[in-house]
Amino acid sequence: MATEGDPGEDFVPVADVEIDAVQPGRSGFVLTGRGQDGADYRLAMELEMPIDGRTRQVLGELLAQSEWHIRRRAKHPFRRRPALTRRRSAT
């Protein structure tokens, strides 16, 4: 059985992200941060219930001090998008 720190062998690490900023969204928050891989990440968190201003403030402060460990389990691996090629002008 997998524990919180060990999601199990079926899950593959995708990113470990330290949150740098939290912005309120329409019905949640937008979190931005840098991953251990050096990439920038943007996470959108949607809430299915309305929250009051004080609760929103406290949640924002808590999320700003968070680190996210994202793992994935899927039947198919990530597929890379084909690189966009620039067409050269005939002139």
Dist CA 72 CA 10 (whole Å): 8
Percent of the chain with pLDDT over 70: 74
**What's the whole-number average pLDDT of the chain?**
84
Dist CA 43 CA 34 (whole Å): 11
Lowest pLDDT segment from 68-72, 73-77, 82-86 = 82-86
- In the predicted model, what is the mean pLDDT of residues 12-19? 93
In this predicted structure, the answer to whether residue 1 has a pLDDT above a threshold of 60 is no
pLDDT tens sequence across 40-60 = 999 999 999 999 999 999 999
Half-sphere exposure of 70 (CA within 13 A, CB side): 14
pTM for the model stands at 0.69
pLDDT category, 81, cuts 50, 70, 90? Answer: low
